[in-house]
Amino acid sequence: MSDAGDFDDYLKTLGRLTSHVDPTASTPEAERITAATGSLGELLDTDVAGLAAWVRDHPADVPVLGLAVGLSQEKLKNVLRDHFGTTGWHGVARTQPVDLVTWLDTEFDLVRTLRTQLERTYTFADILVARAGSRVTATRAGASGRRIEDEIESIAQDLGLDYTTRSRFTGRNGRTAPADLIIGDPDTADIVVAAKGFDSTGSKLTDAVREIEEMAEVRLPRQLVLAVIDGIGWKSRQADLRRIHQLWDDRQIDGMYTLVSLDRFRDDVREFATLRRLI
């Protein structure tokens, strides 16, 4: 394994994980919402009976009613589970359309809220306010969060290694720690890897640091601990990134990489796996 380099040099290798998304460009999700709201606008009356018939005929579009009352898909799933015992709005819409709409109206004032929004004329300011909290055009951002995990998993596959993703491995004194890639049996892991990519900043970055510190704390001397970290979000949380780099400098972890240095990651994993006769 190579020695820890200069922190500032590492910082310069961080890159953007997500591409810019044109907020005016259409997406499949945006098109589905557009079609759903179009059919809602064609209803003769947006009362409970009319909306119940609509959800029965358009079960896949129930999340649009959720958005109308401020419920994201995740929040909609949570409240459905609490009231109907399931997160599947398709089934509820088909079998209990009246109950579904009545509940949405009772709990979230669906009918009045929907009528108000359908009849309102919106300004450019309204569009920007909605966009500030909207995730309709951000589907690629969510997918990119798994980019590093996918890259390192692909390397493990190419090298013919047995591995587990997003699990926990056993280390010193039977203690366990989380890892995004575990090579070998998690109970007797040979190589463990943290994959932490963020283009935005927030508490998840601090949580990522804690996970890597936990990996370093429980590792056995025979276990290789690596971290692949990228994304411009870390540039706003340099103190957190320095904590990880210090672990490398103190040899509490064995390597720290970005996407541009994945060739070195591959070489280091191959070298260690060969020494341990894993390949």
DSSP sequence for 46-110: -SHHHHHHHHHH-GGGHHHHHHHTT--HHHHHHHHHHHHS-S-HHHHHHH-HHHHHHHHHHHH-H
- What is the rounded distance in angstroms from the CA atom of residue 186 to the CA atom of residue 190? 8
- What is the rounded distance in angstroms from the CA atom of residue 41 to the CA atom of residue 46? 9
Contacts of 117 (CB under 8 A, 6+ apart): 68
Domain ranges of the chain: 7-17+143-276, 28-136
Contact (Cβ atoms closer than 8 angstroms) between residue 118 and residue 46: yes
Confidence label for 125 from pLDDT (cuts 50, 70 and 90): confident
Convert the pLDDT of each residue in 223-250 to its tens digit.
Answer: 999 999 998 889 888 999 999 999 999 9
Q: What is the pTM of this model?
A: 0.59
**So what's the pLDDT on residue 236?**
84
- What is the rounded distance in angstroms from the CA atom of residue 155 to the CA atom of residue 249? 25
- What is the rounded distance in angstroms from the CA atom of residue 119 to the CA atom of residue 102? 21
Contacts of 147 (CB under 8 A, 6+ apart): 17, 197, 259
Letter for the amino acid at 71?
L
**So what's the pLDDT on residue 141?**
44
Long-range contacts of 178-181 (CB under 8 A, 24+ apart): 178/211, 178/214, 178/215, 179/215, 180/148, 180/149, 180/152, 181/149, 181/152, 181/153, 181/156
The per-residue pLDDT of the chain, averaged, comes to 87
**So what's the pLDDT on residue 117?**
87
Contact (Cβ atoms closer than 8 angstroms) between residue 278 and residue 196: no
Contact (Cβ atoms closer than 8 angstroms) between residue 100 and residue 69: no
Fold category of 7-17+143-276 in CATH: Trna Endonuclease; Chain: A, domain 1 (3.40.1350)
**So what's the pLDDT on residue 1?**
66
Contacts of 3 (CB under 8 A, 6+ apart): none
- Residue, of 246 and 74, whose pLDDT is higher: 246
- Which among 182, 185, 210, 184 has a CA at the least distance from the CA of 196? 210
Strand extents, DSSP E, the chain: 163-170, 176-183, 191-197, 224-230, 255-257
Query: Residues 229, 143, 147, 19: what is their CA dihedral angle, to the nearest 10 degrees?
Result: -80
Contact (Cβ atoms closer than 8 angstroms) between residue 18 and residue 140: yes
Convert the pLDDT of each residue in 23-72 to its tens digit.
Answer: 666 677 778 888 888 888 888 678 999 999 999 999 999 999 999 998 88
- Which among 101, 19, 26 has a CA at the least distance from the CA of 56? 101
Pull the structure tokens for residue 10: 């590492």
Q: What is the distance of C-alpha 167 from the center of its chain? A: 16
